Structure 1
């Protein structure tokens, strides 16, 4: 069984580079065009935003938060793989749609790691099941099923599921998932909450300073580009820059 101290040390050593630093790099690399062209201007108009600084702040917050779960989810996946590596010699899987694989006794486990039980829509969940079927087919073709039973697992880093048996696979969430990949550490799911907060306040303060600086620069640039002489937002110009055609072919029906 893997100790919580070992996993906590791994999180403390890596949470900055894998999460906070990636957010900082994203903020530093942002340009005004990145946030005005990738977000829905109709939404912000519907929210009644007519102040340039408020508009930029809303778009910035949406932009920063949109990739936050993905970045953090990728780190959680690494924590899970590291945990399983120490418990069962687990490893990153090369199979399509499979994140982790390991053996215990005569059973081979192939795990798709998700953030929580509500991670995707029906088509995405169907694709996961297709990936399980494809991996089973590949293993059968290569002879990998002759000596081993293969169990597919949907592993959710948080949440719970009272009925884990999904016929095509097993879904383990929260405590059940972390206990499963750690070799039986039932307290791991609670213990790892602490190191995620390691120096989090200081790093968030630094990030907010960076965001404020970008807001000042972007607001000035936005006013120059998308506000009329009276200082009002020129929504027609903004929507043209966001959604006007870039094609030489104009379609009419």
Structure 2
């Protein structure tokens, strides 16, 4: 088990990385790249009237989609690797491999417990199967069972393998306890954040304000009429025209 002081330092480093990536994500974002990925009909249907409203809305959509991915990469996976007594996997779709006395755990780490659709579940099955096939002789020689796991950092979902999903799903407290042996580890992670996110947030809010100002300028320059109203036909042409 990682010492508490080491875990505290690790949590802080991971939060630093999380905020640095969030800020970089915003500073490198460009309006036209974002507009290409949004539904202009939905945006118009929402009754957005000002450049500021449009910018705030699409930035929020972008942040909601990207923050969970960034957090998983910058915070969850490094901590799982550090506390799991395992090693980083080189197998496609698998993050951590832990060799125990009687089992060989292969863990795909996810930030949240959103259930995969059928095609994603099938792909996950295939990725676990590919690793198991490579390890088959090694596991047979040692008499160890292969234990594929989809581990989620939060939530309460715990699902045993089935005919369609040939791996375990464990979430939240159960996941952290599985890899650390500590039933309170999920609480320690929250406690060790202290007020650090509050102090980091100021940097992020300044970058957010910069992005709002930059995008608002670009909307008015490129997608607004002379009287200041949004030109929705121009927006949809940019997004969807064959030209």
Q: Quick check: TM above 0.5? A: yes
Across the aligned residues of Structure 1 and Structure 2, the Cα RMSD in angstroms comes to 1.9
User: Normalization by structure 2: what TM-score?
Assistant: 0.89
- Structure 1 segment 194-213 matched on structure 2, within 5 A: 194-196=191-193, 198-213=195-210
**Cα distance in structure 1, aligned partners of 2:4 and 2:122:** 34
Tell me: CA distance 1:8–1:121, structure 2 relative to 1, closer, same or farther (3 Å): farther
What secondary structure is seen at the aligned counterpart in 2 of 1:45? helix
**Cα distance in structure 2, aligned partners of 1:138 and 1:160:** 32
Counterpart of 1:91?
87
Counterpart of 2:67?
68
Residues 78-108 of structure 1 deviation map (CA, whole Å, 9 limit, x = unaligned): 2111111xxx3x1111112211101111321
- Structure 1 segment 121-200 matched on structure 2, within 5 A: 121-140=117-136, 143-147=138-142, 148-161=144-157, 164-167=159-162, 168-182=166-180, 184-196=181-193, 198-200=195-197
What is the deviation of 1:187? 0.7
- Unpaired stretches in structure 1, ≥5 consecutive residues: 247-253
Q: Is the 8 A contact 1:153 1:169 kept in 2?
A: yes
Counterpart of 1:44?
43
* 1:215 correspondence with 2:228: no
What secondary structure is seen at the aligned counterpart in 1 of 2:99? strand
What is the deviation of 1:215? 1.4
Q: Is the 8 A contact 1:109 1:150 kept in 2?
A: yes
* 1:242 correspondence with 2:243: no
Tell me: CA distance 1:214–1:153, structure 2 relative to 1, closer, same or farther (3 Å): closer
**Cα distance in structure 1, aligned partners of 2:185 and 2:3:** 8
What secondary structure is seen at the aligned counterpart in 1 of 2:140? coil
Q: Is the 8 A contact 2:139 2:146 kept in 1?
A: no
- Unpaired stretches in structure 2, ≥5 consecutive residues: none
What is the deviation of 1:161? 3.4
Residues 172-193 of structure 1 deviation map (CA, whole Å, 9 limit, x = unaligned): 22112111111x1111011101
Q: Is the 8 A contact 2:2 2:82 kept in 1?
A: no
What is the deviation of 1:166? 1.6
Q: Is the 8 A contact 1:2 1:185 kept in 2?
A: no
Aligned length: 238
Tell me: CA distance 1:161–1:36, structure 2 relative to 1, closer, same or farther (3 Å): closer
Q: Is the 8 A contact 1:12 1:198 kept in 2?
A: no
User: Normalization by structure 1: what TM-score?
Assistant: 0.86
Tell me: CA distance 1:10–1:119, structure 2 relative to 1, closer, same or farther (3 Å): farther
Tell me: CA distance 1:241–1:227, structure 2 relative to 1, closer, same or farther (3 Å): same
